[in-house]
Amino acid sequence: QKEVEQNSGPLSVPEGAIASLNCTYSDRGSQSFFWYRQYSGKSPELIMFIYSNGDKEDGRFTAQLNKASQYVSLLIRDSQPSDSATYLCAVKGTSGSRLTFGEGTQLTVNP
Amino acid sequence: GAVVSQHPSRVICKSGTSVKIECRSLDFQATTMFWYRQFPKQSLMLMATSNEGSKATYEQGVEKDKFLINHASLTLSTLTVTSAHPEDSSFYICSARDRRGTGGKETQYFGPGTRLLVL
The DSSP code sequence of B24-73 is: EESSS--SEEEEEEE-TTS--EEEEEEETTS--EEPTT--TTTEEEEEEE
Out of B34, B43, B91, name the one closest to residue A104 (CB). Answer: B43
Q: How far is A42 from chain B (nearest CA, A)?
A: 7
Closest of A6, A14, A3 to residue A73, by C-alpha: A6
Q: How far is A3 from chain B (nearest CA, A)?
A: 14
**Span A52-108, pLDDT tens digits:** 999 999 999 999 999 999 999 999 999 999 999 999 999 998 777 788 999 999 999
Out of B43, B93, B111, name the one closest to residue A103 (CB). Answer: B43
**Span A6-64, pLDDT tens digits:** 987 899 999 999 999 999 999 998 989 999 999 999 999 999 999 999 999 999 999 99
DSSP B4: E
Taking the Cβ of residue B22 and every Cβ of chain A, the question of whether any pair is shorter than 8 Å is answered with no
Residues B98 and B34 sit within 8 Å (Cβ to Cβ): no
The residue with greater pLDDT, A83 or B43, is A83
